[in-house]
A = this chain, B = another copy of it.
Amino acid sequence: MRLVIARCSVDYVGRLTAHLPLAPRLILMKADGSVSVHADDRAFKPLNWMNPPCTVRESEEDGTHLWTVTHGKSGEKLILRIEEFLHDSSHELGADPGLQKDGVEAHLQELLADHITTLGEGYTLIRREYPTAIGPVDILCRDAEGGTVAVELKRRGDIDGVEQLTRYLELLNRDPALKPVRGVFAAQEIKPQARVLAGDRDIDCVTLDYDELRGIEPDVPRLF
């Protein structure tokens, strides 16, 4: 990994064109071949960058260092004109052991399946990822009256989630053994438009509180 602080101007020509006037910036060159140009703001987002695979061609004219970064496949170009180097260091980091994540939709599905009564008193799980010809239904369960309920689960409930559930319901309701199947649209956050569309199709909406669901868990490893 090479860290360069330099006064530079940058041009990107590719999927769009963009220009950065001369200013001091961080140029981050990683071992994977990527190049990114950072200002002292925008959090972790660079002003400009090039993803691997790409090649860097260095040249010099009139004291200006010209770095031309060309993307292998697309031919996109990132051109850095460096007027002055303020810092330049290289560091050997090696391969990273990697990141362990927890808390995405898969986990939300587990949690809801484990606490299916969140949807209502007397609910019982039939199964998760109930297979159909057009894809798996996130959760299939029964309500207190024994009626079948198909649950579509999203972190953010959008209009196309409702469309998806609608297709499942249409299919499931052709099965005499299951019929009638009711729909529940469950998400951490449901967009107003999605709520309207769901209401229009007699689909119930349930807002899930992830922390609350996780809080119910008996043995969740906590850091604090």
Binding site for B on A (CB under 8 A): 1, 3, 5, 11, 13, 15-21, 23-26, 28, 30-32, 34, 36, 38-49, 51-52, 77, 79, 86-87, 89, 91-104, 134-135, 159-160, 163, 193, 223-224
Cα of A47 to Cα of B44 in the assembled complex, Å:
10
- Assess whether B48 is in contact with A52, with CB atoms less than 8 Å apart: no
- Assess whether B97 is in contact with A91, with CB atoms less than 8 Å apart: no
- Assess whether A91 is in contact with B19, with CB atoms less than 8 Å apart: no
* Other-chain residue from B15, B48, B97 in contact with A99 (beta carbon distance below 8 A): B48
- Assess whether A134 is in contact with B193, with CB atoms less than 8 Å apart: yes
- Report if A91-B86 is in contact (Cβ < 8 Å); known contacts: A3-B3, A42-B32: yes
Residue from A1, A13, A92 with most neighbouring chain B CB atoms (10 Å): A1
- Assess whether B52 is in contact with A96, with CB atoms less than 8 Å apart: no
Give chain B nearest CB distance to A74 CB in angstroms: 11
Q: Closest 6 A-B residue pairs measured CB to CB?
A: A16-B103, A39-B96, A34-B43, A36-B44, A31-B40, A32-B41
- Assess whether B96 is in contact with A41, with CB atoms less than 8 Å apart: yes
- Assess whether B102 is in contact with A16, with CB atoms less than 8 Å apart: yes
Give chain B nearest CB distance to A70 CB in angstroms: 11
- Assess whether A34 is in contact with B44, with CB atoms less than 8 Å apart: yes
Give chain B nearest CB distance to A29 CB in angstroms: 10
- Chain B residues in 8 Å Cβ range of A25: 93, 96
- Chain B residues in 8 Å Cβ range of A47: 96, 99
Give chain B nearest CB distance to A100 CB in angstroms: 5
